[in-house]
Structure 1
Amino acid sequence: MFRLTTRQRRLLPLRFFTSSPSFCSISSAAAVTDFPQNDVVSQIICHFISSPPRYSHKLLLNSLRNSNWFRKEVPDLEPSEIESIIEKISSQSAIEFFFLLQNEFGFKHSQNSRFFIAHLLAEKRRYRALFCHMRVVIEEQGSGSAPLLCELLLKSFMGWDSNHVVWDMLAFVYSRTDMVHDALVVLTNMKDLNIRPSIMTYNSLLHNLRETDRVWDFYSELEDNGLQPTDYTYSIFLDGLCRQSLVLEAINFLREINKEVAEPCVVCFNTLMSGFCRKGLIGIAKSLFCMMFKYGLTPDRYSYNILIHGLCVSGSLEEALAFAVDMEKCGLHPDQVTYNILSKGFRLLGTMNGVWMVSEKMLLTEADPGLLTYTILICGNCQTDAVGLYESLLEKGIPPTVVTFNTLINGLCKARKLAQARKWLDDMKMHNVEPTIVSYTTIMNAFCEVGKLEDTFELFEEMKKNGIEPNQVTYTVLMKGLCKRGKLEESVAILRDMLGKGISPDQTLYNALIQCFCKARDFKRAFQLHAEMVQLNIKPNVVTYNILINGLCVYGDLIVAEKLFYDLQCQNFKLPKVAFTTLIKANCAKGDVEKAMVLFHQMAETGFEISLKDYSAVINRLCKRSLLNDAMDFFRMMLVGGIAPDQQICSVIHYSLHQAGFVIAEFQVYVLMIKFGFAPG
């Protein structure tokens, strides 16, 4: 147990550690090259504290890392021995030695050692490293671990100079990892110790609780503790009020903020506008936009994008376009987000055959339409000859940009007019506009989707010939096209080429490849790709494991799928709900109802919400296999759990019981259907 406070550790002279005869017998030269064969702990301590001052921490660590003696002894070291070592060496050496053992030797440190290092990191104000360190500790311990960790801090680290920082970081990391209950446990302990949480921790918890009534209590507690809310704090609280449909309270709170602060906050207005747009209250959002000017604020690009998006969603595309043009007049050039919003709006309106109506009206009302106006209109009209708008742009003497061409190409690709899209790619150079990686990749993706793989690779070669290096998206498009054709080995070759050029793939790319090999029933290659991800430090995510589990259940071996599932559970990997439901369905289809029932209970105990859909999937499969007693068990469990059945599931059970001649059970279901107002079939 660590009894020394950090203040005491700083006051202890070096001779306190070197006065022992066992230490003094070791020369400085030996400390960095080889070690005499006596007490291992003493030797390691002496290695750090008896070395000449000119030796850096890095040199000392490297000498250990490269020592055959040390590598041989590490597996036999006990966590308590490591505690003894890091307690007696300097702070920086202790930190680096701790992570050397953990990261390179896979050493399992004690919780005492971990919190000792946490306090040293806090003392050195290495807050980012402290956050990462505490996140590893918390993710390993999992949900519900707060009481244990709090008890350890109370027993072993009271009085340390940096103790309040570690407590606060513990609460913050629990909140950031969505373990809100644990974060609240830590806060309760902090309150008892008179340790005030930071505004960072309060903000994180406010964000997690913003859709609950508790957000009020936490905001009040923040003020009671004398903390000054930040713009982010106000933004979170306002967002919470909007999500709870507390419109009047949100507006009143905004007014109070503007009275209290010297400068009103644009972010707060944006948050409220976004919240009201989500609720469909566009009128209130527009009023807030106007109110910003009253308070002397200038709307930013985000303010405009919020309103433009809200207006597009509500079908007021004409007004959205007016805001977009006004945005440019105010010196705020639309960004990619603006273009995407308007593009979606046009497509929405296009389904109602109203695109040209808006286009003509806009051209009539705009005395001198600019590049933005034409680009937006081209984007919206790509599926209904946009070429006319493009020619009108040229007649006005407005030179098109790469954005104009890329917008036109993108629209033509979505309309499956690939020959025209390819022609516009060539025509760009006629206007002294060089195609970009986006230009090529957009058309390549369209060719892949219609199965024109040869044309895709022709464009790929042309792009490289023109000096444009492919990026991750380009490679993903190629691999997707090859997978569609069943050319899996060729797609892996593309991956190798990508890695050879130093372009790092991501989880999405590997997941797509793994899924293709699973569908091809080549699970050996699928798991090889998974191992490669780990080797390249591309952490497999829930999608990766869901693909593997689902693939094994559908195309492979259920036993292997279950082994993978339980191995991940043992590693405290948080599996998604779909992993449970996939295995449950597979076991039902196989007729192993007992396993399906165990998994069903595990799914509920893990905290996933069990829905009517989950019960229906199981009951349907059991009825198909004529396992009616088991189907009725799940049906009763559903009713006891307070989930009302629907017409479909009642009809399935009623019909199955009728066919099997289960008269009494059939009558019971018949009565239940009448009770719920369903018509028995």
Structure 2
Amino acid sequence: MLNQWRPHRLPLKLFTLTSFIFPKPSASVTSAAVKIVDEPTNTTANSANIFISSPRDNVHEILYGFKTYGPQQFLNGSYFRGMLLSTLNPHQVNRIIDSLRVGNPELAVFFFQFLCSECGFQHSNVSRFVVSHILAGERRFKELRQVVNQMVEETGSGSALYLCEILWNHFRGWDSNSVVWDMLAFCYSRSEMVHDALFVIAKMKDLNLQASIWTYNSLLHNLRHTEIMWNVYDDIRSSGIPQNEYTDSIIIDGLCRQSMLHEAVEFLQGTEVLENRACIVSFNSLISGFCRMGFIDAAKSFFCVMLKSGLHPDAYSYNILVHGLCVAGSMEEALDFTDDMERHGVKPDTVTYNILIKGFHLLGLVGGAWQVFRNMMLKGLHPDLITYTILICGHCHTGNIEEGFRLREEMLSRGLQPSIITYSVLLSSLCKTGKLNKAMVLLNEMEAVGIKPDVIVYSILIHGFCRFGGVHDAIQLCKEMCSKRIIPNSLSHGAILSGLCRKGMMTDARMYFDTLTKADLLDVVLYNIMIDGYAKLGNIGDAVQIYKQLTEKGITPSIVTFNSLIYGFCKIRKPAEAGIWFETIRLHGMLPNVVTYTTLMDAYCKDGNVDSVVELLHEMVAKYVKPTHVTYSVLINALCKEKRWQESVQILRQMYAKGLPPDQITYNTIIQCFCEAQDVNRAFHVYNEMLLHNLQPSPVTYNILINGLCMYGNLKNADEMLNSLVCRNIVLTKVAYTTLIKAHCVKGKVHRAVLLFHQMLQKGFEISIRDFSAIINRLCKRCLVTEVKLFLCIMLSRNILPDQNLREILLNAPRQDAV
């Protein structure tokens, strides 16, 4: 009986009075009312506003009013609204609707809907089921679904037993009873209350009632990620219900979502789809499954099979493949496929162009995205909310916030209201760049246009404030969330805790942490943040205490927990204790990761225990834990400290052999070691090797080399190197200049030192009192009074006053009277 309604989710809305208008008592309504009640006629009454004589109760008064004045006039009269409505209860309404359904079911529905829409009356479930049976009998399936759906949503999950008992006890044997049972199961399924839906179907079987294919399809859709899908499918086949084109496609989609692509193909071949009812939906599900798994070529093959089977792919079919190609980065092929779409008479829609725009943005090709956007406009298609959101997202991710806001203005000019996703993207971009005031203005704008911020929006803002030091502002936002009954998630609390720990405000962090503990809102991540905060400050006692609290709560520690504790013990130079925690990891059934090994190796390196460092590296490799370039840098540093330079260079070669190219830090470690060993030539040899591997040296690399040349008196080569780097526009730090300036001062080459100092000023480096003190100290030691005065004048001209350290240098300098 349900083959005339479709299982599409419709918005629940109250009935309106437009379907029932009674300008005067109609003959049908009046005659029906006469059959229902036997009241003396009040011949003097000419208005529904007067008191009805000899009333028995509300039920009889309302039924008598319907008979005498007509439903519309009576219900809108002051007597009903002013006297009867306030005293009307669900039980009385049950009686009225039950009385009306026999003689005038249409009036029963009208009265039911009038109380809902006009009076906000809360009907009992009995009344709803009475009206549901009336609507089912009249095949008004859309309205039936609205009534049952509202009942399901209000009673909520787990209410199937209660509602089934009402149907069984009060409506057994009623006409259209099977339709109402089926609609109840369907509404539970569409509301994703699957267990309730299965319960209703089981009860239907006990009553020999048959669920419709639409209800079964809805259940299949909800269960397509699970094995239970097959139980429902077997139930369909055994019941003999005719399947429709959606049934098989749901099974195929479910198999694909469970990554059972081979089984999905076999199912398609065994369903007569290819021979009989060639269904595009089934092919679309299969093609989508292959695309989702990244098997684009297989998806294209099935697309060709669909064409050979005489099917005509629709826009959705093409969009699936276009999306798959875009995700795979094959934008040129995606564009060709779009052209092929038009050649076959299928017009690309807004969805097609949105997919292409997103594909270009995923690859960072903003120009290509805008070309697609222009083509879309030329085709006469209007960009929608999704189009603009993708464009805004793309520009914000590339740091072009201004373009993102310009697009938002363009959206508004086209009458499109940005969604919460659009605002979230803009807020995230502002927070990442520290524009927190603008972010708060945008938040207020959201609320002004009626978009309520959710936990994600607040989390973005909280992370932004914590990232840029505004932890207390983040806490205020967290309180604001709670006042709006938006529950902060672990990420929000974690951002605040991390921000406090990062600023070293461990007392405040502990207070916040204890508050979360009392509210039982803690998980292992929040414990880890506190442990890490204490460990980085070297407060290992408190870190261990938090760990004990974690285990007492029955929370399982993670590898991050142990890594933080190991780091803390290593920081306070207790590698033996760190080693004990290293072994504790295994006792908890976990394995150390690369961070664990590298942290412990670094501690042994600082203790000069190179053998233990090498031993740990061998253990890593044996346990299939891949070392990173940081791990190798630690090993190289350990070898260099032991003056085992040749071995360190061999490790460098091994890194390339293992496909793990060293970074600047690794090279800098070896270069510095050679410089400290007074082997500058070998240091430059490693530097040249760095260049041969197309690795750009960092400013630290140049500082190390210049310092190495200066340390051993090779100022000429140091000057030449600095000049060469400046000519090549290589970025240098202030250290490179100050190193050379100090060296020239020591050698008495004050003119060169002054020249370099002026170059440093021209570069815009910030010069501090410490820089002046270091140079003046060296000049004083060589009794260069005139030069000391020169630098003092430069210092004072920049509004930098001598500090206590500089005064002592001047007082203790030879010929201090001259100074």
- Structure 2 regions of 5+ residues with no counterpart? 1-28, 428-435, 463-472, 498-508, 535-541, 601-819
CA distance in 1, matches of 2:370, 2:458: 42
CA distance in 2, matches of 1:202, 1:550: 41
Q: State the 1:218 CA deviation.
A: 1.1
CA distance in 1, matches of 2:437, 2:143: 38
Answering whether residue 633 of structure 2 is matched by residue 616 of structure 1, we say no
- The 5-angstrom pairing of residues 513-532 of structure 1 reads 519=440
Which amino acid is 2:190 matched to?
R
Which amino acid is 2:529 matched to?
N
CA deviations on 1:481-518 (whole Å, 9 max, x unpaired) are 9x99xxxxxxxxxxxxxxxxxxxxxxxxxxxxxx9999
Contact residue 531 and residue 565 of structure 2 kept, 8 A:
no
Contact residue 583 and residue 596 of structure 1 kept, 8 A:
no
227 and 599 in structure 1: CA distance in 2 versus 1, 3 angstrom threshold = farther
CA distance in 1, matches of 2:178, 2:47: 37
Q: State the 1:300 CA deviation.
A: 2.7
CA deviations on 1:440-499 (whole Å, 9 max, x unpaired) are xxxxxx89547779xx98x89xxxxxxxx944327889x979x99xxxxxxxxxxxxxxx
- The 5-angstrom pairing of residues 187-586 of structure 1 reads 187-258=201-272, 262-347=276-361, 379=368, 401=378, 449=403, 470-473=413-416, 519=440, 544=454, 554=474, 556=476, 561-562=481-482, 564-565=484-485, 582=492
Contact residue 241 and residue 249 of structure 1 kept, 8 A:
yes
CA distance in 2, matches of 1:225, 1:168: 14
Q: State the 1:201 CA deviation.
A: 0.8
Q: State the 1:415 CA deviation.
A: 12
CA deviations on 1:596-647 (whole Å, 9 max, x unpaired) are 565649xxxxxxxxxxxx530355258759697666444555656xxx713x
Contact residue 585 and residue 618 of structure 1 kept, 8 A:
no
Q: Percent identity at matched positions?
A: 32
Instruction: Give me the CA root mean square deviation.
Output: 5.1
Contact residue 211 and residue 240 of structure 1 kept, 8 A:
yes
Contact residue 615 and residue 638 of structure 1 kept, 8 A:
no
CA distance in 2, matches of 1:320, 1:522: 38
Q: State the 1:154 CA deviation.
A: 1.6
- Corresponding residue for 1:45? 62
- 1:258 is paired with a residue whose SS is coil
Answering whether residue 99 of structure 2 is matched by residue 88 of structure 1, we say yes
326 and 174 in structure 1: CA distance in 2 versus 1, 3 angstrom threshold = same
CA distance in 1, matches of 2:37, 2:437: 62
Contact residue 585 and residue 596 of structure 1 kept, 8 A:
no
- Corresponding residue for 1:645? 558
- 1:273 is paired with a residue whose SS is helix
- Corresponding residue for 1:36? 52
- The 5-angstrom pairing of residues 145-160 of structure 1 reads 145-160=159-174
CA deviations on 1:408-444 (whole Å, 9 max, x unpaired) are xx99x9799x9xxxxxxxxxxxxxxxxxxxxxxxxxx
Which segment drifts farther, 320-329 or 546-555? Answer: 546-555
- 1:120 is paired with a residue whose SS is helix
- Corresponding residue for 2:584? 672
- 2:270 is paired with a residue whose SS is helix
Contact residue 530 and residue 546 of structure 2 kept, 8 A:
no
589 and 267 in structure 1: CA distance in 2 versus 1, 3 angstrom threshold = farther
CA distance in 2, matches of 1:156, 1:583: 52
- 2:123 is paired with a residue whose SS is coil
Which amino acid is 2:301 matched to?
S
232 and 592 in structure 1: CA distance in 2 versus 1, 3 angstrom threshold = same
Q: State the 1:66 CA deviation.
A: 4.2
Match of 1:184 among 181, 193, 198: 198
Q: State the 1:210 CA deviation.
A: 0.6
84 and 160 in structure 1: CA distance in 2 versus 1, 3 angstrom threshold = same
CA distance in 1, matches of 2:443, 2:335: 51
Contact residue 521 and residue 556 of structure 1 kept, 8 A:
no
- 2:68 is paired with a residue whose SS is coil
CA deviations on 1:357-411 (whole Å, 9 max, x unpaired) are xxxxxxxxxxxxxxxxxxxxx846869xx99xx9xxxxxxxxx94669999xx99
Which segment drifts farther, 617-626 or 234-243? Answer: 617-626
- Corresponding residue for 1:98? 112
CA distance in 2, matches of 1:252, 1:275: 14
Contact residue 357 and residue 370 of structure 2 kept, 8 A:
no
Which amino acid is 1:172 matched to?
F
Which amino acid is 1:70 matched to?
R
305 and 260 in structure 1: CA distance in 2 versus 1, 3 angstrom threshold = closer
CA distance in 1, matches of 2:311, 2:332: 26
Answering whether residue 184 of structure 2 is matched by residue 165 of structure 1, we say no
Which amino acid is 1:51 matched to?
T
Q: State the 1:654 CA deviation.
A: 6.1
Q: State the 1:288 CA deviation.
A: 1.0
Contact residue 325 and residue 334 of structure 2 kept, 8 A:
yes
CA distance in 2, matches of 1:305, 1:337: 7
Match of 1:78 among 62, 70, 89: 89
- Corresponding residue for 2:790? none
Q: State the 1:103 CA deviation.
A: 3.5
- The 5-angstrom pairing of residues 602-613 of structure 1 reads none
Identify which of structures 1 and 2 has the higher relative contact order when contacts are C-alpha pairs closer than 8 Å and 6+ apart: 1
- 2:271 is paired with a residue whose SS is helix
Contact residue 202 and residue 222 of structure 1 kept, 8 A:
yes
448 and 321 in structure 1: CA distance in 2 versus 1, 3 angstrom threshold = closer
CA distance in 2, matches of 1:471, 1:179: 39
Larger-gyration structure (1/2): 2
Which amino acid is 1:205 matched to?
L
Q: State the 1:208 CA deviation.
A: 0.6
- Structure 1 regions of 5+ residues with no counterpart? 1-9, 356-377, 391-399, 419-445, 461-468, 485-514, 534-539, 566-574, 602-613
CA deviations on 1:532-574 (whole Å, 9 max, x unpaired) are 95xxxxxx77x55775899899464867754643xxxxxxxxx
Q: State the 1:104 CA deviation.
A: 3.5
CA distance in 2, matches of 1:66, 1:637: 65
- Corresponding residue for 1:394? none
CA distance in 2, matches of 1:314, 1:24: 81
Which amino acid is 1:166 matched to?
V
Contact residue 531 and residue 564 of structure 2 kept, 8 A:
no
- 1:143 is paired with a residue whose SS is coil
Contact residue 521 and residue 555 of structure 1 kept, 8 A:
no
183 and 72 in structure 1: CA distance in 2 versus 1, 3 angstrom threshold = same
TM-score between both structures, scaled by the size of structure 2: 0.52
CA distance in 2, matches of 1:405, 1:97: 44
Q: State the 1:192 CA deviation.
A: 1.2
- 2:144 is paired with a residue whose SS is helix
311 and 165 in structure 1: CA distance in 2 versus 1, 3 angstrom threshold = same
CA distance in 1, matches of 2:147, 2:41: 36
Contact residue 210 and residue 236 of structure 1 kept, 8 A:
yes
- 1:325 is paired with a residue whose SS is helix
Q: State the 1:140 CA deviation.
A: 1.9
559 and 107 in structure 1: CA distance in 2 versus 1, 3 angstrom threshold = farther
Contact residue 349 and residue 381 of structure 2 kept, 8 A:
no
